A and B are shown apart, each in its own frame.
Chain A
Amino acid sequence: MISFLRSIAAEFAKIFTTRLWWILALVLFGYIGLLAGGLAVLFSGLQTGVISPDTVNTGGGELSGFGSLPPIIYSFASSIGYVFPVLIGALATTGEFRHQTLTPTFLATPRRGVVLGAKTVTLLLVGAAFGLIALAASVGIGGGIMSAFGVDALLLDPETWLLVARSVLAMALWAAIGVGLGVLVPSQVASIVIVLAFTQFVEPLLRLAASFLEVTAKIGNFLPGAASDALVGASIFNLMTPAGAAPLDWWQGGLVLLGYAIVATVIGYAVSWRKDVT
């Protein structure tokens, strides 16, 4: 037990003694702040008539039916920002293979399962911290702008803060999925390519394609991004897809994400983590 706690402390030290974490955190904050702020300006402008619908190609018609804007904007933190915790989780594991730091790590803590468990716990917490940073951007900047336009930013609504809490949980689980991916695909380059291709391209297309049929939509609900959006409870993505099957409950979505993290980590442990370090 004491060795597990020490191992967690060591994993934290690994994260915070290189520059990667704050570079990713900074980009995450900027990216989500820009998107949430931009959309907040556009939608609140349209809603309050500051921006004329005529100047926007899509037309304001469908936006008027769109009662709850703030949750959509706040959920950018996870629905768009989730790639960041996945990346830091994957880099935390693939970096050990790439820089051969598995050697000093396993010399200091020869129980390899302890190390992988400690890494998962550490990255869950780092992912949650990334969630807070992303929410600071989406709620702080997006909510601030909506309030400035006089649109109700729902900051006193408990639903908003439940969404914040569920977003933090989602981001934590995404970082654990990153750890699992990193042991499943120890090549750093391959891992990064998979993260970017899957999150930015493959999964959105799959979700869109799956949503057209009732039966595939049910399966599509179990895609990790869809499960994450179900957990959070709101997503820009839901606006862009035809109404398919009802999404999973929030807790079901959370369990599906957890399942991905566990399956990837356990298989990765067997295929790379416990293998010879040469």
Chain B
Amino acid sequence: MPTGALIEFTNISKRFGGVTAVNDLSFTVKPGRVTGFLGPNGAGKTTSLRILLGLVAASSGTATFGGVRYRDLPHPLQTVGAALEAATFHPGRSARDHLGVYAIAAGLPRTRVLEVLTQVGLAAHAAQRVGGYSLGMRQRLGLAYALLGDPGVLVLDEPINGLDPEGIRWIRGFLRDMAAEGRTVLVSSHLLSEVQQSVDDVVIIARGELIHLGPLSSLDTDAAAQTIVDSPNRDALAAALTTAGISFSIGRTGLLAATSDPALLGHLAFEAGVELSVLHRQKAGLEDSFLTLVGGGHSL
């Protein structure tokens, strides 16, 4: 089983002419966890990842895998798998041949090609020219490329863009599985909600600068959190809440109770003999604090 390496960004800056795309960015990404690299469009995520992969030269700073720069890795595809945003295929080449070219370049056995195509659910389209692929299929092919060398580190730029709901569910499980196997998983997104269910840690940037860094729960700072609760007998539930002095409003999926403690509501309902059909903490607080962090959520 491949083991993940620590990714380290150290004082990375990048200027494109007059534009500062990334400014003095430092953070680490640990193996065995899924790290969400978040920020609005234009925040500098793609640029940072391309610097990490040696595709873009940093104006200053270093980015390494276990202390080694990408271009100094003896077996790059076997160490780091990357899927970047853009569609990087020759439209006239089949998926099998596309991957075959890079399997040859990396000295990987040809059997890996069909293995990874099967893994991402494209085996049936292996011989089809990529030009006819849908956006979702291209995303999967990009992922297949990343998996080709069975690497210990995965670097994925907006992998959820363009996937259908089934694909989104699949990739979330996939990211969790990869981290559970001990790999390092760095995945970027401009939407927290897109990756919220899969990430352990978050690194948030805006305008090229680091804004926030920590476990996902560190975003959960909303003191006035709410709990959604509902019952087949909503009137009885409302009466029980009123009796207990807990204020609430009526929301789309139930009653929005002004408490951050679901257990308290469960206890109240039990005492009052009211059956519950819904009981969970309102999660919108994460997205709200994310938007606050990145500056009001403009351009999201």
Contacts and interface: CB of A to CB of B under 8 A. Distances in A.
Contact of A278 (B50, B70, B87, B89): B50
Contacts of B55: 103, 106-107, 276-278
A22 to B, nearest CB: 12
A128 B288 CA distance: 63
A108 B56 contact: no
Given A6-B106, A17-B94, A103 B54 contact: no
B104 A10 contact: yes
Given A13-B100, A101-B89, A111-B71, A106 B54 contact: yes
A109 B93 contact: no
Of the listed residues A7, A108, A277, the one surrounded by the most CB atoms of chain B closer than 10 A to its CB is A108
A105 interface: yes
A64 interface: no
A18 B53 CA distance: 27
Contacts of A10: 101-102, 104-105
A276 to B, nearest CB: 4
Nearest to A17: B97
A6 B107 contact: yes
Contacts of A99: 88-91
B82 interface: yes
A229 B238 CA distance: 95
Contact of B47 (A6, A106, A278): A278
B37 interface: no
Contact of B88 (A7, A19, A101, A110): A101
B135 interface: no
Nearest to A12: B104
Of the listed residues B57, B100, B104, the one surrounded by the most CB atoms of chain A closer than 10 A to its CB is B104
A50 interface: no
Contact of B84 (A13, A103, A111): A103
Contacts of B73: 110
B77 interface: yes
A17 B56 contact: no
Interface in B37-88: 46-47, 50, 53-57, 70-71, 73, 76-77, 82, 84, 86-88
Nearest to B102: A108
B295 interface: no
Contacts of B76: 107-110
B50 A104 contact: no
Contacts of B104: 6, 9-10, 13
Nearest to A13: B101
B145 interface: yes
Nearest to A5: B107
Contacts of A19: 92
A100 B47 contact: no
Contacts of B97: 13, 17
Contact of A276 (B57, B77, B102, B145): B57
Interface in A222-278: 276-278
Contacts of A106: 54-55
Contacts of A9: 104-105
Contacts of B77: 107-108
A17 B91 CA distance: 11
A102 B105 CA distance: 13
B257 to A, nearest CB: 49
Nearest to B81: A107
Interface in B224-239: none
A17 B126 CA distance: 13
Contact of A105 (B50, B94, B100, B105): B105
Nearest to A98: B90
B96 to A, nearest CB: 9
A101 B84 CA distance: 11
Contacts of B50: 276-278
Interface in A1-24: 2, 6-7, 9-10, 13-14, 17-20
B14 to A, nearest CB: 9
Contact of A103 (B71, B86, B91, B92): B86
A100 B87 contact: yes
B105 A108 contact: yes
Contact of A277 (B56, B90, B102, B145): B56
Interface of B: 46-47, 50, 53-57, 70-71, 73, 76-77, 82, 84, 86-94, 97-98, 100-102, 104-107, 145
15 contacts: A6-B107, A9-B105, A13-B100, A17-B94, A17-B98, A99-B88, A100-B86, A100-B87, A100-B88, A104-B102, A107-B82, A109-B105, A110-B71, A276-B57, A277-B50
